[in-house]
């Protein structure tokens, strides 16, 4: 639709605008669902592999931002664009990109931040799905063979058997909506309280943290257990509606001067992601079949989003055999940990002297 509006403006000079009042609440609702689905008690299931994979992911975040900022400076661009073409949109995806672009626009005066973020995130989403398969096939050929038939003693994860599970009822949806509303309300209060202090955080990070604390506290005291599938459904709906509004309102004509430099940065990021998956993720995670599937998943959410990672891994395991470890670790890291550590990494990078001072 944004392309249609671009054509309309170029041919008639007519520009369409939309009511965006629901856009930010929908974005925050999405991050609330990420926090609500973060069951800390389940982390022990991932064991040592989960901890190692988190460190591997953090390494990529640092590399992506270093490349983005370095190339932006080399091309004479605002270093903030380097962050947007780095871990914010590539490892973070559309939701994180939109959240930080709002911060960059309001706090740093970076124009067209939303357009840049959406373009980078969309590019990464496509390329993340394209490179995951070839990278994994290359690694499988150089790894130990998979274990053959599935191990019936292991319980498949929800992503391996996505259609099994109890039904979502209207009562569950209402309860989940109430939890999301609590996360948004308390998250806003915390963000306002921290504003102007050393510990200032974007509102979406505060909302996410509230979701984590709320979900795990209720579970620990036995008061209520969050229904993860219902939370995921509402999260996907919120993100889909938010993206529809964000993409419809893109002013693509304002990206014309940035198209080639942005493409150059993203192509380098894609090459680096493939090399990182092969030479870092695969080797550190054990140089075996599970590591190959993990590398395919890392390509998916390292450039795009967790669903892309799941699709990459499903394509590999359907052909070569199951990998329960990969389907346990990647969703936990890609759907929760990545947003937490990414926010911390971005905050640290913004302290570098190459970035402009925060506007009053």
How would residue 264 be classed by pLDDT, with cut points 50, 70 and 90? very high
Q: Which residues contact 347 (CB under 8 A, 6 or more apart)?
A: 201
* Alpha-carbon separation of residue 161 from 19, 228, 292, 310 (angstroms): 40, 15, 21, 12
Angstrom distance (rounded) from CA 60 to CA 25: 30
- Provide mean pLDDT across the span 107-132: 86
pLDDT for residue 186: 97
The gap from C-alpha 347 to its chain's centroid, in whole angstroms, comes to: 16
pLDDT tops 90 at residue 189: yes
Between residues 128 and 152, the one the model is more confident about: 128
pLDDT tops 70 at residue 15: no
Structure confidence by residue, pLDDT tens digits, 278-323 = 999 999 999 999 999 999 999 988 997 777 888 888 888 888 888 8
How would residue 153 be classed by pLDDT, with cut points 50, 70 and 90? very low
Average pLDDT over the chain reads: 83
SS (H, E, C) 288-312: CHHHHHHHHHHHHHHHCCHHHHHHH
Least confident of 79-83, 161-165, 268-272: 161-165
Structure confidence by residue, pLDDT tens digits, 213-239 = 999 999 889 888 888 889 989 988 887
pLDDT for residue 252: 57
Angstrom distance (rounded) from CA 28 to CA 31: 5
Q: What pTM was computed for the model?
A: 0.75
pLDDT for residue 238: 87
pLDDT tops 60 at residue 159: no
pLDDT for residue 165: 57
Angstrom distance (rounded) from CA 85 to CA 117: 7
Angstrom distance (rounded) from CA 279 to CA 295: 10
Angstrom distance (rounded) from CA 307 to CA 292: 18
How would residue 60 be classed by pLDDT, with cut points 50, 70 and 90? very high
How would residue 151 be classed by pLDDT, with cut points 50, 70 and 90? very low
Q: What separation, in Å, do the N-terminal and C-terminal C-alpha atoms of the chain show?
A: 35
Domain boundaries, the chain: 169-226
pLDDT tops 80 at residue 141: yes
Angstrom distance (rounded) from CA 282 to CA 145: 14
161 φ, ψ to 5°? Answer: -125, 70
Angstrom distance (rounded) from CA 13 to CA 204: 36
- Provide mean pLDDT across the span 252-277: 84
| Number of Cβ atoms within 10 Å of the Cβ of 65 | 25
Structure confidence by residue, pLDDT tens digits, 241-257 = 877 776 676 665 555 66
């Amino acid at each position: 639709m944004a392309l249609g509006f671009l054509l309309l403006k170029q041919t008639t000079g007519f520009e369409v605008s939309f009511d965006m009042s629901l856009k930010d609440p929908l974005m925050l609702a999405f991050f609330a669902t990420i926090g609500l689905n973060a069951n800390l008690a389940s982390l022990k299931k991932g064991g040592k592999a989960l901890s190692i994979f988190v460190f591997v992911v953090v390494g990529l975040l640092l590399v992506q931002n270093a490349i983005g900022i370095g190339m932006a400076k080399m091309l004479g661009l605002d270093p903030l664009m380097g962050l947007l073409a780095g871990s914010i949109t590539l490892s973070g995806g559309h939701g994180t990109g939109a959240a930080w672009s709002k911060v960059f626009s309001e706090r740093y005066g970076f124009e067209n931040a939303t357009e840049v973020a959406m373009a980078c995130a969309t590019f990464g989403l496509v390329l993340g799905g394209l490179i995951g398969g070839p990278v994994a096939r290359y690694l499988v050929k150089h790894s130990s063979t998979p274990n053959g038939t599935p191990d019936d003693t292991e319980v498949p994860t929800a992503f391996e058997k996505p259609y099994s599970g109890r039904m979502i009822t209207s009562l569950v949806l209402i309860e989940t909506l109430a939890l999301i509303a609590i996360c948004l309300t308390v998250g806003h209060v915390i963000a306002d309280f921290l504003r102007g202090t050393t510990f200032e955080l974007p509102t979406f990070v505060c909302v996410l943290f509230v979701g984590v604390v709320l979900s795990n506290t209720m579970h620990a005291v036995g008061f209520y257990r969050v229904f993860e599938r219902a939370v995921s459904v509402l999260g996907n709906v919120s993100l889909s509606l938010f993206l529809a509004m964000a993409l419809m309102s893109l002013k693509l004509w304002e990206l014309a001067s940035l198209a080639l430099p942005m493409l150059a940065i993203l192509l380098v990021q894609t090459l680096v992601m493939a090399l990182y998956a092969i030479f870092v993720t695969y080797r550190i995670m054990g140089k075996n079949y599970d590591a190959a599937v993990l590398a395919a998943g890392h390509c998916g959410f390292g450039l795009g989003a967790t669903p892309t990672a799941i699709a990459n891994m499903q394509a590999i395991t359907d052909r070569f055999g199951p990998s329960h470890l990969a389907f346990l670790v990647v969703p936990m890291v890609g759907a929760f940990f990545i947003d937490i550590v990414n926010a911390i990494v971005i905050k640290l990078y913004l302290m570098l002297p190459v970035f402009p001072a925060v506007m009053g």
